[in-house]
Amino acid sequence: MKRIAIVLLAGILAATVFVGCNNNNNNSPSSAPQSSAAASTEESAEESAEDGEESATEGEKSATEDEESAAEGEESAAEGEESAAEGGTVDPASIVGNYVSASFVNIETNQVITPEEFATANGLEAAPVIYLVLKEDGKAAFGPQEEAKGGTYEIAENGNVTITFEENGEQAVFEYNADNGMFGYTDAENGVGYLFAKVAE
């Protein structure tokens, strides 16, 4: 009987050990994949965060570049408006020469009229011929040929000419039109305006 009891006990112990080993073997592989999956998830989260930061940085950089581009565009537009307001830059050499009154302007209506129309409107046989002379040496003359006043002149960047008369130091401003190469002058005292065309040499 003792022998039987010992054999049974030994069998029970062996079975217990065998079951325990099987449980350990079954649990071990499942824990490894779980650990690996957790590590992979953590790495993926870190990479996603880094990608997000890089994307945000690129977005900020792009926004900054857009702002700089817009600022440059505004500056360019401002320069264009300023240039248009000033009338651009005119070569002084192209302005030098002799000019004669080609048309008159009614200051009240701003209407351009021919010399013949001016003469008729003012009861004259012929309209007065007014000369504007701009010499290379900076000398100038303005008025009817027999009564022209002498002086000196300066040319602005937009082509406008200012004459300073030697007789009394008074000044007269002639506005240059680069589109047609003509000068305009307003005689406020007599209420008339003149348009001067360059005489071909």
Q: Both 75 and 128 in a single domain?
A: no
Question: Tokens 């003012």 label which residue?
Answer: 122
Task: Domain count for the chain, please give it.
Answer: 2
Residue 108: what pLDDT? 86
Q: Both 128 and 74 in a single domain?
A: no
In contact, 162 and 173? CB cutoff 8 Å: yes
Q: Of 50, 70, 86, at which residue does a domain stop?
A: 86
Q: Both 101 and 28 in a single domain?
A: no
- CATH number of the domain to which 134 belongs: 2.40.128
Q: Both 127 and 188 in a single domain?
A: yes
Q: Both 79 and 125 in a single domain?
A: no
Ranges of the chain whose pLDDT falls below 50:
1-10, 13-33, 35, 37-38, 76-78, 80-86
Residue span of the structural domain in which 44 resides: 1-86
Residue 44: what pLDDT? 58
pLDDT in tens, 23-75: 444 444 444 445 454 455 556 556 655 665 665 566 566 656 666 655 565 56
Q: Of 30, 65, 86, at which residue does a domain stop?
A: 86
Q: Of 67, 86, 105, at which residue does a domain stop?
A: 86
In contact, 186 and 197? CB cutoff 8 Å: no
pTM, two decimals, is 0.55
Q: Both 113 and 189 in a single domain?
A: yes
Q: Both 6 and 44 in a single domain?
A: yes
Cα(180)–Cα(83) distance, integer angstroms: 19
